[in-house]
Amino acid sequence: MSWYHESMFDRSRPVGSFWESEAPPLAAGVDLGALAGDAQCDVAIIGGGYTGLSAALHLARDHGIDVCLLEAGPLAWGASGRNGGFCTFTPTGLSIDALTRRYGLDETRRFMRSQMDAVDLVRELGATEGIDLAAQGEGTLEVAHAASRYDDLVQEAAILSGKFGLPTRLLTREEMAETHYDSTEQFGALHLGVGFGLQPLRFARGLAAAAARHGARLHGHSNVVRRERDGAGHLLHCQGGTLRAKRIIIATNGFTEEALDRRLGKAIVPVVSNIIVTRPLSESELAAQKWQTETPCANTRALLFYYRLLPDRRFLFGARGDTTGRPEDGARMSRWMAKRLGEVFPAWAEVPITHTWRGFVCMNMRQTPTIGRMPDDPTTWFGLGYHGDGVSAAPWTGRLLAALVSGNATNDDIPLPLRGLPPRIPLSFLRRWYLLGALGYYRLSDT
């Protein structure tokens, strides 16, 4: 990831998100602070986002295992604390047809069922662990950004409902304008009755509090600078201390460095995603776009826009970002997004933007998450790579990893599209140029 500017990895800086301004702080004692001295545990988790926090919670609560988690920054500093709050599926860059051709109908159905279960898990964790998710909306909307894309949604609805039994509903442009909203890029939509919106940092901090309450030890500001084998186990070296563990889970997603694990580090592509949030909209401003829904929306562009109305009537608008990570390029991207927001929703063109931030989406060549155990090391597990849809997939992955590590699940319990390491990217030092080429192609396909 060396092509990205160093500011993208500065864990001492606040993210600047709206979520940070709204979420209650972590309760005292949840984050034990930087690891100091020598410590040991049964299972060590590297990464304090949804995957790692969920794995810690389930290992401690459900399997009674001594677990210690190490996060390089504040807990949930990465994508888990700064995403758009879309608890949706599926976490893949592949179409349903592509998944079926590659893995077969049965395994694709198992994958789809698993991700419906993932959405249910988030609601369940909110209820059982007392996490205030600030949940909004029922299902998700995929909106045709051009008239020609509505036919694609008709075909998609037939596949999702016919082959997979998913609850779908098609809305014409006129029906959308009457019941949800209207805009210059609204030509009908597909409503999928799975998913909802939430406050992502509230969810992440709630997971952390639950994990700590059930006995997991959580250490923020504990960057693993080196790891090595120690007999049958592992030694994880942080700047202030060393953790000895029998088994480890790598859950670093878009921040996976080659120095931590060469195989994973050379298999992923971190992609910047940007979000802007407006001040609260008035009733008349909402009415001007006929806005009357809390359902999360994404459009049919390859380089999609994703957007939703927040509980206090602020409007969140997200898109893919720059390829350098430099602060000036982030600022330029935010200005472009504000301009596009005004073009898609003309009545809101002059509404001030109060928050803007960005982070990494983690992708790989297989275009599905990667879950499993290292083929040459039975004491190391991994779970990452959610392709922009990790709010439900990552906690589900953490639960599955806990079952795998504890011996309550096997490799066969991982749906085939998610199983094992993705292929290494050829000439991985050229990843930035691959990314530039892909983004250029997608921009052309969106015209």
Cα distance between residue 426 and residue 266, in whole Å: 9
Pairing of strands 67-70, 37-46: parallel
Query: 69 near 58, Cβ under 8 Å?
Result: no
H/E run at residue 169? strand 168-171
* pLDDT attached to residue 444: 60
- What value does the mean pLDDT take over residues 256-278? 93
Distance CA 177, CA 216 (A): 48
How far is residue 306's CA from residue 141's CA, in Å, rounded to a whole number?
10
Whether 238 has a pLDDT exceeding 60, the answer reads yes
Count CB atoms within 10 A of the CB of residue 332: 12
- CA distance readout (Å), 390 to 49, 243, 342: 10, 28, 28
Check whether 1 has a pLDDT greater than 60: no
Residues 309 and 151: beta-carbon distance below 8 Å:
no
- pLDDT above 60 (res 441): no
The pLDDT value given to residue 163: 94
pLDDT tens digit sequence for 180-223? 999 999 999 999 999 999 999 999 999 999 999 999 999 999 99
In tens, the pLDDT along 141-183 reads: 999 999 999 999 999 999 999 999 999 999 999 999 999 999 9
Please tell me the pTM assigned to this model: 0.96
Work out the number of other CB atoms within 10 angstroms of the CB of residue 177. 16
Q: How confident is the model at residue 436 (pLDDT cuts 50, 70, 90)?
A: low
Residues 368-388, mean pLDDT to the nearest whole number: 96
- Residue pair 381/264 in contact (Cβ under 8 Å)? The answer is no
11-38 residue pLDDT tens: 998 899 999 999 999 999 999 999 999 9
Query: Is the pLDDT score of 286 beyond 70?
Result: yes
Task: Provide the mean pLDDT of the chain.
Answer: 94
Average pLDDT of the segment spanning 83-112? 95
Q: What is the pLDDT of residue 429?
A: 66
For residue 438, how far is the Cα from the chain centroid? 20
ω into 90 cis (within 30 of 0): yes
- Reported confidence tier of residue 3, pLDDT bands at 50, 70, 90: confident
**pLDDT at 440 (0 to 100):** 61
The residue type found at 121 is: L
What are the pLDDT digits (tens) for 291-332?
A: 999 999 999 997 679 999 999 999 999 998 888 999 999 999
Instruction: Give residue 297's Cα distance to chain centre.
Output: 16
Domains of the chain, each with CATH number or no CATH: 6-84+201-269+366-428 (3.50.50.60)
Quick one: CA dihedral 134, 137, 138, 139, positive or negative?
Answer: negative
Q: Is the pLDDT of residue 349 over 70?
A: yes
| Average pLDDT, integer, range 251-273 | 92
Mean predicted confidence (pLDDT) in 223-235: 94
